[in-house]
Amino acid sequence: MVTPFALGDVVTLRKQHPCGGFEWRIERLGADIGIRCLTCGHYLMLTRQRLERGVKHRESKAEPAQDEG
């Protein structure tokens, strides 16, 4: 199953960035996907497959915000 990532989506990764952040915003879609750390602003490129495996939660800007407690 292909996860429909979209530009502007905010994803929560399983692995914590060295800066302490978990949330990243998708800024580039293609053969590789570019994401930016919302905590420190670090930009990272990785393959779609690696991103899908690393994502714990995806929050699309196209959907209404959900309160998850």
The end-to-end CA distance of the chain, in Å, is 28
As measured in angstroms, the least distance from the Cβ of 7 to Zn ion is: 19
As measured in angstroms, the least distance from the Cβ of 3 to Zn ion is: 22
As measured in angstroms, the least distance from the Cβ of 30 to Zn ion is: 22
Spatial CB neighbours of 17, under 8 Å, sequence gap ≥ 6? 37, 39, 40, 42
Nearer to Zn ion among residue 4 and residue 20 (C-beta)? 20
Nearer to Zn ion among residue 50 and residue 67 (C-beta)? 50
